[in-house]
């Protein structure tokens, strides 16, 4: 029966296409579409800085003319795509005489079992990709453990991390209008970094404590009371029909969203902070995907995810390999302003 793995249905191309078409939930930032996604055919991506903005430098064939010598004010940096592999093994006995899930008498097929394992592995990688996107929004992309930095965009770009915006949510005696002033200052700082680049607005992904404290602020509540939008005070905490987030509301020209996302119980966004994201800015966030480390994919354009099966030489099991090779980054890390609830 394991001879079926030699057919087209289990080729790397068929499996890769299937896993990239599966209806996953990629996470909130992935669903927002703020990251421009695309493949590259190299592992090390050269990024050029010109007038405070990062650009990809196209790769060239060996022996071809090189890129024109850089003029003053232009620099190049190199980032390497992360390698995210995960593996599983399908033993022959796992499908021997096993009833298919949800049926009374239909035996489970090898294809069904492979699809089940692929789905589980793909969801884990998707959660990891979302974790990396959040890292790009913070400016420091962390490994899955949350403590090991893969790369720091501020260091790479040779700029200081922007000072955090202090919302001072722990002070009940703030002057009226002080919170609105903080919001205006954040928007101005972002627009100053972007210069003439257009912007549609600012979106903030918030940790649980930060979001709850902000929604309790008198200035926020007063702005909604006795208006047609007063229902926000009742419904802002929960979106029952949108499981990607816990809630959202707008204040001071910024949309605040209670971000939902964690791995192993560790929240992607610290509970007492928020991170501001300019929206509608062309080419601000990118997610590049490098090719897999398979012979078949050498020098090809990368896909978001790859899948491959390898049969044991004695046909006792099949190893299932799923991987992604992502590189998320922000082209203007100076706009990545963190918000804190207070000192």
CATH code of the domain covering residue 122: 3.15.30
Same structural domain for residues 12 and 117?
yes
The answer to whether 206 and 259 are in contact (CB under 8 A) is yes
Q: Cα(101)–Cα(33) distance, rounded to whole angstroms? A: 35
Q: Same domain for 170 and 21?
A: no
Q: Do the domain assignments include residue 68?
A: no
Burial (CB count <10 Å: 0-12, 13-18, 19+), residue 293:
middle
pLDDT at position 24:
39
- For residues 144 and 167, membership in a common domain is answered with no
| Mean pLDDT value of segment 123-138 | 92
Query: Per the structure, how many domains does the chain have?
Result: 2
Nearest to residue 136, comparing CAs of 247, 34, 26, 25?
34
Give tens-digit pLDDT for 303-331.
Answer: 999 988 888 887 788 888 999 999 999 99
pTM of the shown model: 0.83
In a shared domain, residues 139 and 10: yes
- pLDDT for 260: 85
What is the residue range of 56's domain? 2-62+73-151+290-327
pLDDT at residue 209 tops 90? yes
Q: What is the pLDDT of residues 44-73, one digit of tens each?
A: 887 777 655 555 555 555 555 554 544 445
For the sheet with 326-330, list strands across it: 35-39, 285-289, 326-330
Rounded to whole angstroms, how far apart are CA atoms 321 and 313? 16
Q: How confident is the model at residue 132 (pLDDT cuts 50, 70, 90)?
A: very high
pLDDT digits (tens, 9 = 90+) for 147-199: 788 999 999 888 999 999 999 998 888 899 999 999 999 999 999 999 989 89
**Is residue 21, in this structure, part of any structural domain at all?**
yes
Q: What is the CATH number of the domain that holds 276?
A: 3.30.1930
What's the chain's average pLDDT? 82
Give the pairing of strands 35-39 and 44-50: unpaired
Is residue 81 domain-shared with residue 193, that is, in the same domain?
A: no
- How many CA atoms are closer than 13 Å to the CA of 31, on its beta-carbon side? 14
Query: Using alpha carbons only, what angle is made at residue 25 by residues 19 and 26, rounded to the nearest 5 degrees?
Result: 80
Q: Are residues 8 and 145 in the same domain?
A: yes
Query: Could you give phi then psi for residue 26, rounded to 5 degrees?
Result: -75, -5
Of 137, 161, 153, 171, which Cα lies nearest the Cα of 28? 137
Q: 139 and 273 share a domain?
A: no
């Amino acid at each position: 029966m394991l001879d079926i793995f030699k057919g087209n249905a289990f080729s790397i191309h068929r499996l890769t296409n299937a896993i990239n078409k599966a209806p996953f939930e990629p996470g909130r930032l992935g669903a927002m579409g703020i990251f421009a996604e695309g493949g590259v055919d190299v592992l090390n991506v050269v990024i050029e800085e010109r007038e405070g903005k990062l650009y990809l430098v196209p790769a060239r064939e060996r022996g071809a003319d090189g890129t024109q010598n850089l003029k003053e004010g232009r620099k190049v940096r190199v980032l390497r795509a992360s390698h995210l592999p995960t593996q599983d093994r399908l033993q022959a006995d796992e499908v021997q005489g096993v009833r298919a899930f949800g049926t009374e008498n239909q035996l489970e097929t090898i294809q069904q079992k492979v699809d089940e394992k692929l789905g589980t592995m793909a969801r884990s990688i998707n959660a990891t990709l979302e974790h990396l996107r959040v890292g790009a929004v913070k400016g420091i992309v962390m490994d899955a453990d949350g403590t090991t930095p893969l790369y720091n965009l501020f260091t790479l770009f040779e700029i200081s991390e922007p000072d955090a915006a202090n919302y001072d949510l722990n002070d009940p005696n703030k002057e009226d209008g002080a919170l609105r002033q903080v919001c205006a200052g954040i928007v101005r700082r972002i627009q100053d970094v972007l210069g003439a680049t257009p912007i549609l607005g600012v979106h903030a992904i918030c940790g649980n404590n930060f979001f709850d404290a902000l929604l309790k602020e008198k200035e926020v509540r007063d702005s909604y009371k006795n208006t047609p939008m007063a229902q926000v005070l009742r419904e802002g905490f929960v979106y029952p029909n949108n499981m990607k987030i816990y809630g959202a509301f707008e204040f001071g020209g910024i949309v605040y969203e209670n971000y939902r996302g964690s791995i192993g119980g560790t929240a992607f966004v610290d509970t007492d902070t928020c991170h501001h994201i300019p929206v509608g800015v062309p080419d601000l966030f990118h997610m590049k995907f490098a090719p897999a480390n398979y012979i078949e994919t050498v020098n090809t354009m990368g896909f978001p995810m790859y899948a491959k099966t390898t049969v044991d030489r004695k046909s006792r099991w099949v190893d299932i390999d799923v991987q992604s090779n992502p590189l998320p980054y922000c082209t203007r890390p100076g706009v990545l302003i963190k918000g804190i609830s207070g000192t």
